Amino acid sequence: MHILTIMTSQSAGSINERGYINGMNKKGFNLSRCVSELTANSLDAKAKNVTWDVTRDFIKIIDDGRGMTNAELINMWDCQRENHSEQITTGVSGFGSKPSTKLASKNTEVIMYTKSKDDLYYKAVIPRNEIVSQGKYVDMINISECNQEEIIMFQKDISDTGTIIQFNHNYDLENELNKQFHYPKDIPEMNLRLDCVFGSFSNTNFKLVHYEKPEKDLLLYNYFHKEPNMYYTDKLDNYLIEIHKDPSGKIVYLRPIPYGGYEYITKCGNGHRLKNYCNSHSSQKFGELNISCGLLKDDNYFNFKNPELPTATKKISSYESAFFDGTNEELKTDIWYPSLERNSQYIGNINPLPRFKPTSARGDGKNCLKLSRLRTKVSYEVNSSQENIIDELIGIQENKNQLNSSTIDEGLKRMIEECIKDTTEKIWSNFEGLIQKFNNEKKLKLDNSEKLYNQLLSDQVSWCDLTDQQIEELKICKPLITNIIWDRELEKNNHNTSSDDEIDDESDDEIDDESEDEIDRESEGEKEEEMNDEICVEPDSESDSKPDTETEFKSDNEADYKSDNEADSKSDNETYSESTKDDDNTIYLESINIKQTELPEYILNLLSKLTEEQILQIKKSLNVN
């Protein structure tokens, strides 16, 4: 005989607190992500200064943000509460601060102090040791007003509003902070580094204060927030991608076309194709993404002064060398993949892409630009709601520093590839245009210099008639022109001086034949004596080589080359040559007549056209200031 029993209905569904507490260790958090999460909370509070302060007894994170009211402080410690559902913040699920304080404290007591505008000072005591040991979370956190001693302590660190989270000192947290601020290159993943995660927050100062070490500011990796002229083509390329839902409920990613309409990626047979979208009037837009593509200028890659098309060399830029190890191939690949920013916070990289592979970057210079050098960022802004559909489409996880890019629609990934391809074409075409312009200008300068050079040699143009620009171009295009023209001008001016003196001598009726014979005899005697003297050049090194040219000239009238008090005591004809002093290893002109005198104006004019080194050597040898 069976007895029928009727059971009354019962309710079910509860939270196992011990399981919830222990599960915090398995949410993908580590110390790097804990430090990042707590720093992000300060940024959500609009802090302009975020300081990690390490003392012997405590480690504190201090910010000068808006602080929290009593109600906001209570809500912060509620499980899974959306604390910023109507705000554009870094938060996602209202969960991050719980596991972050648990891991960072190593399950010891944590105290939070906060002050908001026109409100009191509050503190929250989170007894992590008791929460873990008892397996109980509900009603375990005590919130109260600060006493006077605590207020004075708070005001030493923060003059107005803000928040302080205080941990008992532990070496794991201290070492993590030391690594983040002093040795970020040792951290293998970009989304574990504070300088990368918060690179776009350039208006906030991040600092580490240590009781035994100097203060250290965080240098932010901020590739996409430079002045436009710091990029090739003098700008970043920015593409807008609108997210629409068509009448059938399908999600489509549309790129506006400059002349009107949209284009999108659609599947055609076994492949995909970019085509015009015709249903935009009946589709519903509910979000958008911004794609930025660009390349910072780097003379080691493409130099504007001597432009050449880049080769297939996979190197990071000079700017990035300050942040990353350029020998790490895996890291260089990670940098190339499009970075993802959510509400200005770097989340991770979109990897892989359907067609573009960094391993193909070695093909040629253009492929290397597209698949290794170019940098791409995908960014968007959303309200921090747990039901945000864009976060789901992009693959944002509960721990927002994790990204599951495999869930991203292939149509969106291919649209990103189209943006990368378009920017590559623009930059490469810009390179080719700059090279063509440079070569045309170079050819024109060479042609002009060749023409001018021939005119100088044929005496159609005088050296002193040239402009500074013409002289500079000659020095570049005709390196030996300075010495050649210098020698020719000396010869020409000496010849002109001698001719003028001969004319003066012929017209001078006051000089009698006897005086002329006597002068001639004296001149011949002195000339013979001079020829018996040997002038030797002994260079001290290979650099002190024999001068290119030696100019000998005679003059009937030395008045242009000597001072007034020497005019009657020196002969009319002297020989000068270039030589070298053994004591100071400098070149000088060996000439009795002009050694201690000022040079004529025409020679000084010539000196002004020479290089600074030539002017210095010649003036020094002649004792001319």
Shared-domain flag, residues 144 and 271: no
Shared-domain flag, residues 501 and 540: yes
| pLDDT above 70: residue 202 | yes
pLDDT at 252 (0 to 100): 95
As a whole number of angstroms, the distance between CA 203 and CA 217 comes to 13
The pLDDT confidence band at residue 550, using thresholds 50, 70 and 90, is very low
Shared-domain flag, residues 89 and 160: yes
As a whole number of angstroms, the distance between CA 197 and CA 35 comes to 11
Shared-domain flag, residues 425 and 373: yes
* Domain end position, chosen among 216, 237, 254: 216
As a whole number of angstroms, the distance between CA 583 and CA 345 comes to 67
Element (DSSP H or E) covering residue 205: strand 205-210
What are 217's strand-pairing partners?
A: 207
pLDDT at 175 (0 to 100): 98
- pLDDT tens, 426-449? 999 999 999 999 999 888 888 887
* DSSP assignment letter at 43: H
- pLDDT tens, 205-235? 999 999 999 999 999 999 999 999 999 999 9
Residue 617, domain member (yes or no): yes
Domain count along the chain? 3
pLDDT at 301 (0 to 100): 95
Amino acid at 416: I
- pLDDT tens, 381-436? 998 776 788 988 998 876 656 678 888 999 999 999 999 999 999 999 999 999 99
Please give the share of the chain, as a percent, with pLDDT higher than 70.
71
- pLDDT tens, 504-525? 555 554 444 544 455 454 545 4
| pLDDT above 80: residue 17 | yes
The pLDDT of 133-150, averaged and rounded, is: 96
As a whole number of angstroms, the distance between CA 57 and CA 38 comes to 20
Shared-domain flag, residues 419 and 484: no
Residue 492, domain member (yes or no): yes
Residue 440, domain member (yes or no): no
* Domain end position, chosen among 182, 216, 250: 216
- pLDDT tens, 446-489? 888 778 777 776 777 776 777 877 777 776 666 655 555 555 55
Residue 463, domain member (yes or no): no
The mean predicted confidence, pLDDT, of the chain is 80
pLDDT at 527 (0 to 100): 45
How many other CB atoms sit within 10 Å of the CB of residue 503? Answer: 9
pLDDT at 93 (0 to 100): 56
Residue 198, domain member (yes or no): yes
Shared-domain flag, residues 378 and 491: no
pLDDT at 611 (0 to 100): 59
Shared-domain flag, residues 296 and 381: yes
Shared-domain flag, residues 413 and 367: yes
The pLDDT of 102-122, averaged and rounded, is: 96
Quote the domain boundaries for residue 93: 17-216
pLDDT at 137 (0 to 100): 93
Element (DSSP H or E) covering residue 202: none
- Is pLDDT larger for residue 601 or for residue 154? 154
Shared-domain flag, residues 51 and 200: yes
Shared-domain flag, residues 263 and 399: yes
The pLDDT confidence band at residue 238, using thresholds 50, 70 and 90, is very high
Residue 499: phi and psi, rounded to 5, are -65, -40
Element (DSSP H or E) covering residue 482: helix 481-506
Shared-domain flag, residues 181 and 101: yes
* Domain end position, chosen among 216, 238, 266: 216
| pLDDT above 80: residue 117 | yes
Residue 270, domain member (yes or no): yes
Shared-domain flag, residues 497 and 402: no
